[in-house]
Structure 1
Amino acid sequence: MLTGLNHITVAVSDLERSLHFYTEILSFKGEVKWDNGAYLSLGELWLCLSCDAPQPATDYSHLAFSVAPNRFEAMRKHLSGFSLSYWKENQSEGDSLYLLDPDGHKLEIHAGDLTSRLRSLRKKPYSGLIWL
């Protein structure tokens, strides 16, 4: 039986550039690196950067990382100090920033959790919403 998310691997074209982005800008902890990759952590999350030819999704697929609601504005201010590209404006429950990593992978910084999202759906359900 599955017990949870094990790790995420992201293809990167320039390991040092991606290491800088994820550790210096997003505050991941560097664990190890080798010729073609690196392992980083953020809380319980294990992220692998793997040198390859990135093909970022053109659909809505993205990785969302948590920030405490009381730290969201500090994170927004921190990120504003860098030349980052954004791919979407927030239109959903909770504060979110939607940015691109150096290879164009879609990321979200979100101040909320599943509980807060479900609570918001009770007030404003999506079209065709069915509670399971």
Structure 2
Amino acid sequence: MLSGLHHVAIICSDYEKSKHFYTEILGLKILAENYRAQRDSYKLDLQLPDGSQIELFSFHNAPQRPSYPEALGLRHLAFALKDIRAFTEHLATYGIEAEPIRTDEYTGKQYTFFSDPDGLPLELYQTRVLTKIQ
């Protein structure tokens, strides 16, 4: 039986730019960084607070993956958090624009989308339902 998500692997076009994005802007912790000479490629292991990981790879001349319009395959990567508005404001300080925050009609939770440096669609999804102050 599956017990959780261990990692998601991402191939980037500009390793230093993506490393900065995922570590400095999104705040993921570096677990390991390895240069693989035979492939002329980096592999960066990153960890989120819940223990799940992202493997960031650099490969020269990797083909583009269509995202828009939506294509078959992985649609997006979603990050859980409690305060979407605060995080979208944090992204904006780096010039990263998120879509307007929406509310999921089935769960009542807020979500929004933004993109990584290669245009990979990323989602922010709140982990608690906001209540109105009366």
TM-score, with structure 1 as normaliser: 0.72
Unaligned runs of 5+ residues in structure 1 are 117-132
Tell me the secondary structure at the aligned position of residue 96 of structure 1: strand
CA distance in 2, matches of 1:56, 1:104: 10
Q: Does 1:2 align with 2:2?
A: yes
CA distance in 2, matches of 1:57, 1:88: 19
RMSD, matched Cα: 2.3
CA distance in 2, matches of 1:96, 1:73: 10
| Equivalences, count | 112
CA distance in 2, matches of 1:63, 1:2: 19
Q: Does 1:106 align with 2:96?
A: no
CA distance in 2, matches of 1:56, 1:45: 26
Flag the 1:34–1:56 CA change in 2: closer, same or farther, 3 A.
Answer: farther
In structure 2, the partner of 1:57 is 67
In structure 1, the partner of 2:38 is none
Residues 101 and 110, structure 2, Cα contact 8 Å, conserved in 1: no
Identical counterparts, % of pairs: 31
Unaligned runs of 5+ residues in structure 2 are 36-41, 130-134
Report the structure, 1 or 2, having the larger helix content: 1
Deviation of the 1:46 alpha carbon: 0.9
CA distance in 2, matches of 1:100, 1:85: 8
Residues 99 and 112, structure 2, Cα contact 8 Å, conserved in 1: no
Letter aligned with residue 48 of structure 1: E
TM-score, with structure 2 as normaliser: 0.71
Q: Does 1:45 align with 2:55?
A: no
Ranges of 4+ aligned residues in structure 1 off by more than 6 Å? none
Letter aligned with residue 67 of structure 2: A
